[in-house]
Amino acid sequence: MQERDAAALEKLRKMEDVRNRLQGLQQVTRSYTVGHDMRERLESMNIDQVLEMVENDINTLRNTLLHPGES
């Protein structure tokens, strides 16, 4: 049980790191003016959509950790 919890916590930590890096990339994207080539390239990566999916995964994992028997 503890090993599973430790593995889940490590997975959560990594997901949060990914989220933080995506948020940083989102900030960089917004630092370019609309129509700038680099902004368009970054926006084509659909960072907002990926960030939303990662947030959902984080919330699901947190709920699983907080309420282990309910999933």
Write the pLDDT tens digit of every residue in 10-68. Answer: 999 999 999 999 999 999 999 999 999 999 999 999 999 999 999 999 999 999 888 87
In this prediction, residue 32 carries a pLDDT of 98
- Residue boundaries of the structural domains of the chain: 2-66
Question: Which pairs from 54-62 meet CB under 8 Å and 24+ separation?
Answer: 54/15, 54/18, 54/19, 54/22, 55/19, 57/15, 58/12, 58/15, 58/16, 58/19, 61/8, 61/11, 61/12, 61/15, 62/12
In this prediction, residue 71 carries a pLDDT of 54
Specify the pTM: 0.84
